[in-house]
Amino acid sequence: MRVLLIEDDHVLGAAIRDHVASVGHSVDWMQRIDDAKLALSTVRYELVLLDLSLPDGRGLDLLRELRAAGDTVPVIITTAQDQIAVRIEGLNSGADDYLVKPFDLSELSARINAVARRYAASPATDIALGGVTIDLGRRTIVADGEAVTLTAREWAVLERLIRHLGAIVTKAEIEDSLYQFGAEIESNAVEVYVSRLRKKLGRDFIGTVRGLGYQVAAER
């Protein structure tokens, strides 16, 4: 999942970025609203983590601008402001969830997964596809009765496909899940990870739609 982190605290921002990336998401970290706006105009994000107090403005103003423009990207507010009135204002402005600092990073992961499920084409946590059972929340897989271990990037590719179950996902969309700004994109990375997933989950688990992309069928 491609995540935009908007946070001006260097220590906290680095911790959040590293944690979210460690569980398989691609993270772009911006510390100013202007930079965040540029990123949002360039990349299609699947989630925004938004601080409210930023050097060049208020996070709530950015959120309101997004919603006024019809942008429905999920937004989780992360802020030290824990007053009930501020929480209500954030949610009424279009936020999907609200985390008060300091928070546990494992709770952040749970909130990200919960919000992602609400917006996914396949919102279920547990998905059974033929002989493969996937728990996106716990990040566990059982294939033909055997536990399967995936790397963070293999999870990123699989999650992108499962979140859009039955739909065709382009190579570029999968690359968005793997790379953040400034990262060098390997030309055959998607093919490599799809090949690895097929070896672990079954040759026919991920289909190739020639000239368009990849697809995990909703029915088996």
Q: What is the pLDDT of residues 122-168, one digit of tens each?
A: 555 678 888 899 987 778 899 989 999 998 889 889 988 988 889 99
Q: Which of 91, 119, 147 is the last residue of a domain?
A: 119
pLDDT tens-digit profile of 55-112? 999 999 999 999 999 999 999 999 998 889 988 999 999 999 999 999 999 999 999 9
Residue 220: inside a domain: no
Regarding whether 10 and 111 lie in a shared domain, the answer is yes
**Can you give the pLDDT at residue 125?**
60
Domain end marker among 71, 89, 119: 119
For residue 34, the enclosing domain spans 2-119
Specify whether the CB–CB gap between 108 and 22 falls below 8 A.
no
Cα 133 from Cα 95, distance rounded (Å):
32
Helix, strand, coil shares of the chain, percent, nearest 5, are: 40, 20, 35
Percent of the chain with pLDDT over 90: 62
- Same domain flag for 9 and 108: yes
Q: Which of 96, 119, 142 is where one domain is finished?
A: 119
Query: What is this structure's pTM?
Result: 0.72
Is the Cα dihedral 150, 151, 152, 156 positive or negative?
A: negative
Parallel/antiparallel/unpaired status of strands 126-129 and 132-135 = antiparallel
Kind of pairing between the strands at 57-58 and 126-129: unpaired
Query: Tens of pLDDT along 4-37?
Result: 999 999 999 999 999 998 887 889 999 999 999 9
- Identify whether residues 206 and 151 lie together within a single domain: yes
What type of residue is 8?
D
**Mean pLDDT estimate for the chain:** 89
Token digits of residue 158:
């699989």
Other C-beta atoms lying within 10 Å of the C-beta of residue 15: 14
Q: Which string of DSSP letters, residue by residue, matches 152-176?
A: HHHHHHHHHHHHTTTS-B-HHHHHH
Which of these, 125, 205, 198, lies nearest to 163 by C-alpha position?
125
Residue 178 has pLDDT above 90, yes or no: no
In the chain, how many domains are there? 2
Q: Is residue 176 part of a domain?
A: yes
Per the CB < 8 A criterion, the answer to whether 74 and 119 are in contact is yes
